[in-house]
Amino acid sequence: MNFTIKNQIEQFKQHNQNRGRLLVSCPDQPGIVSAISQFLFSFDANIIESSQYSTNPEGGIFFIRIEFECPLLKTKENEMVLKFTEIAAKFSMDWRLTPVYKVKKAAIFVSKELHCLLELLWEWQSGDLMSEIALVISNHEEAREVVEGLNIPFYYIPANKEIREQVEEQQLQLLNEYAIDVIVLARYMQILTPKFVEANAKKIINIHHSFLPAFIGARPYERAYERGVKIIGATAHFVTNDLDEGPIIEQDIARVDHRSDVDTLKKLGRTIERSVLARAVKWHIEDRIIVHQNKTIVF
């Protein structure tokens, strides 16, 4: 990591040393917001931003994301977690309390096509993707020069279906060594095993070069062309063991017509892919996503 980016991250940590985020989902019932507000007030915390949603006020699921400022948060963090555990038990909550100064560590997986990787690196260098890109893993050498040029560790690990388990053992060891919080598949053209996915549940974000649920799997642009589509798109989603069917985070589209051949679709699609993936990763590192069943709530 070069000095400029390291300095940006340190400034962000300093600026947000007292900022926290609380994400909650639970059965909807009276008193949830009041209990959370009273909890934060008891620690002298001030609510900066609050967003909430209910699938149904009568018997539905309630979701809320709160961002707050709390004096001396670092010294209060453990006590806050302990106290909120009691509230969570009362309301049957799934919850996550995250200090903002704990910047998330990301690992990027990539193959030959670099447009999504380059977009993420640009956002990272500009300070708009506030994470620590700890390493890049690839089954090809194409990305080495640009990655190492930014002083990011680059690991070339050839992969195919015959050696997939051995490859993933090495990858999992690296992810553990670097204490990775989020894995970004930036056009990493390998299918992950159930063991790998299970070890990183709700931590793997993939970009699929199609507007899911259409054209799941390989060669979506070719199949879109054969079908004569009038729009193409891209989908960022969490990875599950069901191929390209994990919870969708973000999507976008562009219009095409009968003049658009496969190469045109791919060129236009790359622009969509890189912006969709960048938004999804940003929202994840900003703790804006709650997964519910096979859907996401994005605040």
Catalytic residues: 244
> Which three-class secondary structure state does DSSP give residue 84?
helix
Strand partners, 62: 26, 54
Q: How far apart are CA 151 and CA 135, in angstroms?
A: 9
Spatial contact of 22 and 36, defined as CB atoms under 8 Å apart? yes
Q: How far apart are CA 206 and CA 235, in angstroms?
A: 8
The full 3-state SS of 108-159, as one line of letters, equals EEECCCCHHHHHHHHHHHCCCCCCEEEEEEECCCCCHHHHHCCCCCEEECCC
Q: How far apart are CA 117 and CA 58, in angstroms?
A: 44
Structure tokens at 89: 């038990």
